[in-house]
A and B are shown apart, each in its own frame.
Chain A
Amino acid sequence: MSTHESTVRNRKWVTPVTALAIGLGYLVAGLLGDNLEFGVFGLVLMVAVGGAFWLVRTRSETVAGLLDRRDERINAIDASASLFAGMTTLAVVLGAFMVEIARGQDGMPYAALGAVAGVAYVAALVWGRLRR
């Protein structure tokens, strides 16, 4: 087995394992917050999402591409979709921040979320500029 094949095989597990890790995080949060129902639901939901990705991969080239990351077109579509989701989230955060300020509040936690987004953008810009 080549190194490339091994890498592709390992990549296929990233999304299901990440979904499982998030589910376990929900479970721990639910246990700590004395909300077992939320924790169990969150774990079951994320296991279902990860499992669905894993099962559908044999029937959908798009899902398979999202899992193994080999197809440049799927990767480009994924990057565009991620950018759209990120910009949408940022717009909502900025809007919510303005609403909170208009209501006489301190703008938290939206101010902090917006600041994280701004710092992350600048860091990514610098990183990308250094690498290319």
Chain B
Amino acid sequence: MKNVVKELRSSQGLSQATLAISVGVSRQTINSIESGRYLPSLPLAIALARFFGATVEEVFDVDA
């Protein structure tokens, strides 16, 4: 499943570490999500979407 976490994070000038702290996970987990190696749980997906002021479907492409 593709996502735009990296694009959203970069557009706000945030580091992976900063985003990780904000949503309560490790920097490695953010890196894994961005590269598509790890599919986050629903609570984490919602937390990421809320952080960026978007919906889960805007952050994660369920059809890709």
Contact = CB atoms under 8 A, between A and B. Distances in A.
Interface of A: 61-62, 64-65, 70-74
Contacts of B28: 61-62, 71, 73
Nearest to B41: A72
A80 to B, nearest CB: 12
Dominant secondary structure of chain A at its interface with chain B: helix
Interface of B: 24-29, 32, 38, 40-41, 44
A72 B44 contact: yes
Contacts of B27: 61
B24 A74 contact: no
10 contacts: A61-B26, A61-B27, A61-B28, A62-B26, A64-B26, A71-B29, A72-B40, A72-B41, A73-B25, A73-B40
Given A72-B25, A74-B26, 20 more contacts: A61-B26, A61-B27, A61-B28, A62-B28, A64-B26, A65-B26, A70-B24, A71-B25, A71-B28, A71-B29, A72-B29, A72-B40, A72-B41, A72-B44, A73-B26, A73-B28, A73-B29, A73-B38, A73-B40, A74-B29
